[in-house]
Amino acid sequence: MVLGAMNLSIEGRPSRAQAIATIQTALEAGVTMIDTADVYGLGAADAGHNERLIAEAGVAASAATKVGVRREGEAWVHDGSPAYLRRAIDASLRALGVETIELLILHAVDARVPIEDSVGAIVDARSQGKVRQIGVSNVTAAELARARAVAPIACVQNEASPFVAPEPGLLELCARERIAFLAYAPTGGWRAGRLAHEPWLQRLAARYGRTCFEVTLAALLACSPGLLVVSGASRPENARSSARAAGLALEPEDVEAFRARFWADGRASER
């Protein structure tokens, strides 16, 4: 289980004290990684807010951060140019207050820049001791293959939920090649409220004595041995709930039923 820290810094964010309490509660509950990004804040002037928050909580060593997206007004713009990435990496090091970022993830593929060039800039940073491991986010299997031709890739971070199925074969590829698959927006992002009203999930949750959200996270975790769930939280009780899901072992038939219901033929059902 990975704590997704984005909601602690964007619109509607909690107080600083509550945000730090949420981060610390997640670690105390057994979460070992915090997912952040340099772009998580209230616009360009607030860049690095989430990383600084994690540093203030004293857990920067547990952070995996992302670069390659910046804010222009309300827009989130992909920028994978090597020159920008070099500046972004240095800014993240300062915000986190560390000499080396344990896991640095290319946040998105820039259609104007070959992914090989973007990953190459991160490889250069690794050679300088600024980065230990490299990941990629929002990629296809073909883009992952191109990135792997440049450097070993430790993780893929893509969206996966009952509403968004991973690209067919990508989970299996990651498991086979021992690449961690970090599933973000695991309860569907803006669709998350629908899960509590899904009758099939309600019945399953009642049988296990858990919430619909905890059962959903547990089902995702069971879909692949290399899958990690990036679960967002803005309150300590939500962080504890997500951590509880990591300890929930669903029966194999329930996991298969989940996949069949929501990811039939590799496509998430529209609900």
Q: Is 40 a catalytic residue?
A: yes
72: helix, strand or coil: strand
SS3 track for 113-180: CCHHHHHHHHHHHHHCCCEEEEEEECCCHHHHHHHHCCCCCCEEEEECCCCCCCCCCHHHHHHHCCCE
Burial class (CB in 10 A: 0-12, 13-18, 19+), 163: buried
User: Residue 243 in contact with residue 29, Cβ under 8 Å?
Assistant: yes
Tokens of 11: 């619109």
Q: Would you give the DSSP letter of residue 269?
A: P
- DSSP sequence for 191-258: GGGGGGG-HHHHHHHHHHTS-HHHHHHHHHHTT-TTEEEEEE-SSHHHHHHHHHHHT----HHHHHHH
| Sequence letter at residue 38 | D
- Selected catalytic residue, list 40, 84, 184, 208: 40
Torsion region of 79: left, alpha or beta (phi above 0 gives left; psi -120 to 50 gives alpha): beta
CB atoms within 10 A of CB 144: 21
Structure token pair of residue 161: 């939920």
Q: Which amino acid is at 211?
A: T
Catalytic residues: 40
